[in-house]
């Protein structure tokens, strides 16, 4: 009993010596934290701050008046419509791609993954341009489309297509690593027990990857509602018709209508903040689920 006390003190001293040896003096720590915080405040908090302070500069009533403007309302509506089409399309694709790539072995798999990622490395402006070159007046299919009275460029279909292109990889990208990590054993068990393919997918695969799926959808949605460059090329900027929220912000800003511009911007900034909060929540939930799996418990 008495012999163990000094050794424990010795141990504590040794531990604190190690801690000291592999950490920095308090003043160095303080300086590093200050520089990092300063950098983040300048680059992240100030932009957020200026959005809300300019939007509310003339009071809440002027702020709210922006959203009674018919052009603003139509921009909000078009943005919601675009996301409502683009996100489900890419969701279906993401699930199909994750299933094909994650559950099977075939030749050319890594090439396929690279091709799926391609839209992320294309400049937004170029993403819009390729649709103009395909469907525009001067484009490859332009004359045929005109002969049949179909408008894609400078109309809503073009905006939707460009948005689908820039948000193309999001769901697949988030889902694929999770589907791969899960392996095939659980599905094979379900199939052996007589489950059909769809049953296996809905009851076994989907619950396992639900957080990654949700995460991909949220990221996809944020980008779909906020896309500017690609949509700007194909939209034609017809006020009240083909202006999405980001394009409407540009129009207002270039008209020196700063308060309305920042009012619309504040909605998109709120969307971004909600996205970040959801992302944190999902990461926490997913970590919990993985933790539960490791300790041998089944998740309810």
Burial class (CB in 10 A: 0-12, 13-18, 19+), 290: middle
Q: Which of 112, 155, 241, 259 binds another protein (CB under 8 A)?
A: 112
DSSP 164-187: HHHTTTHHHHHHHHHHHHH-SHHH
Residues 191-220 binding another protein (CB under 8 A) are 191, 196-197, 200-201, 211-212, 215, 219
Locus of tokens 């689908």: 164
Nearer to another protein, 5 or 185 (CB): 185
229-248 positions binding another protein, by CB under 8 A: 229, 232-233, 245-247
Q: Is 228 in the site for another protein (CB under 8 A)?
A: yes
In Å, what is the CA distance from 205 to each residue of 23, 113, 212?
A: 44, 20, 12
Residues 77-106 that bind another protein (CB under 8 A): 92-93, 96-97, 99-101, 103-106
Q: What is the CA 253 to chain-centroid distance, rounded? A: 25
Sign of the dihedral defined by the CA atoms of residues 123, 128, 134, 139, in that order: negative
Applying the rule CB under 8 A, the residues between 151 and 190 that interact with another protein are 161, 164-165, 168-170, 173-174, 177-178, 180-181, 184, 187-188
Number of residues that bind another protein (CB under 8 A): 117
Q: What is the DSSP letter of 298?
A: P
CA distances from 45 to 36, 40, 42, 268 (A): 13, 7, 6, 16
Provide the residue count of the chain: 300
Q: Give the interface segment with another protein, choosing from 6-14, 40-48, 58-66, 70-78 (CB under 8 A).
A: 40-48
Q: Which of 9, 14, 42, 73 binds another protein (CB under 8 A)?
A: 42
Residue 122, exposed/middle/buried by CB under 10 A (0-12, 13-18, 19+)?
middle
Identify residues 265-284 at the interface with another protein (CB under 8 A).
265, 268-269, 271-273, 275-277, 279-280, 282-283
Q: How far is the CB of 60 from another protein (least distance, A)?
A: 20
Per-residue x/- marks for another protein, 114-133, CB under 8 A?
A: xxxxxxxxxxxxx--xxxxx
Residues 53-72 interacting with another protein (rule: CB under 8 A): 54
């Amino acid at each position: 009993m008495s012999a163990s006390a000094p050794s424990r003190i010795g141990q504590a001293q040794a531990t604190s010596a190690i801690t000291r040896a592999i950490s920095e003096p308090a003043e160095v720590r303080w300086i590093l934290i200050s520089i990092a915080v300063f950098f983040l405040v300048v680059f992240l908090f100030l932009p957020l701050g200026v959005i809300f302070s300019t939007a509310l500069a003339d009071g809440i009533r002027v702020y709210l008046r922006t959203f009674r403007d018919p052009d603003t309302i139509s921009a909000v509506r078009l943005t919601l419509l675009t996301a409502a089409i683009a996100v489900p399309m890419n969701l279906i694709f993401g699930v199909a791609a994750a299933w094909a790539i994650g559950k099977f072995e075939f030749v050319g798999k890594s090439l396929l993954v690279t091709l799926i990622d391609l839209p992320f490395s294309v400049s937004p402006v170029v993403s819009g341009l390729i649709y103009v070159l395909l469907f525009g007046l001067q484009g490859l299919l332009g004359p045929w489309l005109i002969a049949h009275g179909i408008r894609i460029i400078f109309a809503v279909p073009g905006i939707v297509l460009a948005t689908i292109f820039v948000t193309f990889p999001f769901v697949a990208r988030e889902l694929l690593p999770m589907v791969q990590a899960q392996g095939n054993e659980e599905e094979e068990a379900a199939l052996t027990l007589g489950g059909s393919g769809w049953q296996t997918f809905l009851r076994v695969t989907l619950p396992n990857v639900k957080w990654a799926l949700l995460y991909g959808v949220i990221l996809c949605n944020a980008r779909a509602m906020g896309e500017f460059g690609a949509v700007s090329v194909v939209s034609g900027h017809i006020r009240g018709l083909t202006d999405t929220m980001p394009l409407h912000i540009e129009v207002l800003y270039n008209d020196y209508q700063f308060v309305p511009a920042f009012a619309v911007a504040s909605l998109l900034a709120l969307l971004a903040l909600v996205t970040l909060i959801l992302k944190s929540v999902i990461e926490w939930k997913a970590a919990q689920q993985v933790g539960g799996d490791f300790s041998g418990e089944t998740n309810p």
